[in-house]
Amino acid sequence: MANRRDDDPATFPALGRALLWVERPGGVEKIVYALYAVCAGLFAADFFYHKHTYLAIEEFPGFYALYGFFMCAALVICAKAMRLVLKRPEDYYAPKDVESEAYPEDQLEKVDHDA
């Protein structure tokens, strides 16, 4: 397949050329590993400074990381439970939907492509 003019990296803006490494194989994995490293570093840093807290539980190292993880998991679980209550059938709005109306056959302009 021939390279198109807009696929040439020389025509990209400077930021686009700087971020081309993301599209290469392994680029996304590097971002994920960097995110893991930053999270681990921040968790480890929590052990090395004095906190000025309002509640005693906040002094526990890694409290905010664990709290954030469990609250995010709780949001996902609550969303799944709410889905059971709020979910509607696929054709819930169909009786009043314009697309559910029958279209006149003489206006469909059917074309036989096998002829």
Give kind and range of the element (H or E) at residue 104. Answer: none
* Residues ≥6 apart with Cβ < 8 Å to 27: 21
Greater model confidence, 74 or 101: 74
pLDDT at 36: 94
pLDDT value of residue 115: 67
Which of 40-44, 95-99, 104-108 reaches the highest mean pLDDT?
Answer: 40-44
